[in-house]
Amino acid sequence: MSKVLVPIANGNEDIEAITIIDVLRRGGVEVTVASIHESKQVVMANGTKVEGDVLLTEVSEQLFDAVVLPGGMPGAEHLRDCKLLIDMLEKHDVQDALLAAICASPAVVFGTHGFVVDKQATCYPGFEAGLIGAEYMANEPVVMDDNILTSKGPATAMIFALTVLGNLKGYETAQSVADGLLC
């Protein structure tokens, strides 16, 4: 079974976090939702309270098939500033695990820490300057380049999550979940 880490922080975008978690679980992926804070409960950008399965510190030594970051502000900044998460992203990148981010996170997290250098990427409009060293794909809702997957924002969350699922479990599984969701 594919294993995915979804780190969450206070201020992450509600729709993105929930859509990622829900779509991947519908597709049979083992999703670990990990709060980067000292409490499992986080408050999303629009007030939704989400409780992580674990604290990030509890799974920091594990390897996952993918690490998927929701966006939203200031959530993306909290993810960017979490040294443990960045160490985990680097460890997973070396292993060619799928690294995926949506909204502000491709620029704020991946751009700041060099994960998109010499890659094509997208992000929430207005954050493109943060895609340091990347080719900004302004008109693409989802961009895949090597093991890096990026997406624009809340309205693209479903296609983003289905793309993550397709990369992990194959097109047929992703299509089956999409059909069930009327996508």
146-175 tens-digit pLDDT: 999 999 999 999 999 999 999 999 999 999
Give the DSSP per-residue string, 75-114: HHHHHHT-HHHHHHHHHHHHTT-EEEEETTHIIIIIITTT
The model carries a pTM of 0.98
Domain at 42, CATH number? 3.40.50.880
* Residue 103 a catalytic site member: yes
Cα–Cα distance between 6 and 70 in angstroms, integer? 8
Of the residues 82, 103, 123, 183, which is catalytic? 103
Range of the domain at 16: 3-180
Q: Compute the average pLDDT of residues 32-49.
A: 98
How many domains does the chain divide into?
1
